[in-house]
Amino acid sequence: MSEQKPHASGGVEPGDTTKRVGMEIIRERGGDPEAIREKLIDAIAAEFSTYYYYTNLRMHLAGNEDYKEITEDARLEDRAHFELVAPRVYELDGKIPVDIGEFMYRASCPHAELPEDPTAENILEVLLEAERCAIRTWSAVVDMTRDCDPRTFDMAQRILQEEIDHEAWFVELLSMERDGEVNPAGHFVRGEPGDAPLSTNNRFNESA
């Protein structure tokens, strides 16, 4: 007779597919998995929105190829953030909205729309404020999950680090473009566009 294993059973009955142990553990640690899930939907809606709107902003940076390159990095990394976290919504027994309009309405940040006067300065200001909103959003997720949901905490922390990188990029560019001031970010673009070194989800094996 095998010895009793301490984690072999718990509050979820064997074979029960109506509950998730991963969510019950969050509750046991004092967290609210449903609240975390809804916060994540709002956060990744903002990432998806940013990916879309940055496409337009980047195209209007004609003649500023260095700005376009850095904006492309941020754009693709925001898509990586969406792709990293979207599966977590389903793990927490949720789903992203079927309707794209509803999804965009839920975004935790304003849409990064092209300014009426699309100068490089004005576009960089929009990019900078979008990244600052992302920092605030993912900081809130980090705080929500720090002591109760290590999986979501890990994702949010990695995304937050990249959003802080993005803010530094646009502070550097806007400082020079608008004020003629050197305000170094301390680093440049990634090795490859959208490298997302901390948050890239597993990629499909295209050679398989």
Q: What is the per-residue pLDDT across 33-91, written as a single tens digit (0 to 9) for each?
A: 999 999 999 999 999 999 999 999 999 999 999 999 999 999 999 999 999 999 999 99
Considering just the CA atoms, what is the radius of gyration of the chain in Å? 20
What confidence score (pLDDT) does residue 188 get?
A: 65
> How crowded is residue 204: how many other Cβ atoms within 10 Å of its Cβ?
7
- Confirm if 88 and 119 have CB atoms less than 8 A apart: no
94 secondary structure, DSSP code: -
pLDDT beyond 50 at 208: no
The model's pLDDT over 160-195, given as tens digits with 9 standing for 90+, comes to: 999 999 999 999 999 999 999 998 887 766 677 667
Q: Taking CA 187 as the corner, what is the angle to CA 82 and CA 112, rounded to the nearest 5 degrees?
A: 40
* Element housing 76 (H / E): helix 65-91
> pLDDT digits over 11-20, tens only?
776 766 666 8
Tell me the DSSP string of 25-74. HHHHTT--HHHHHHHHHHHHHHHHHHHHHHHHHHHT-TT-HHHHHHHHHH
Residue 204: per-residue pLDDT: 45
Look at residue 83 in the predicted model and tell me its pLDDT. Answer: 95
Per-residue pLDDT of 113-150, as tens digits, reads: 999 999 999 999 999 999 999 999 999 999 999 999 99
Please state, in angstroms and rounded to a whole number, the distance separating the CA atoms of residues 201 and 194.
12
The rounded Cα 158 to chain-centroid distance in angstroms is 9
Q: Which domains does the chain have, with CATH numbers?
A: 31-179 (1.20.1260.10)
Report yes or no: 60 and 123 within 8 Å, Cβ to Cβ.
Answer: yes
Q: Helices (H), strands (E): how many in the chain?
A: 6, 0
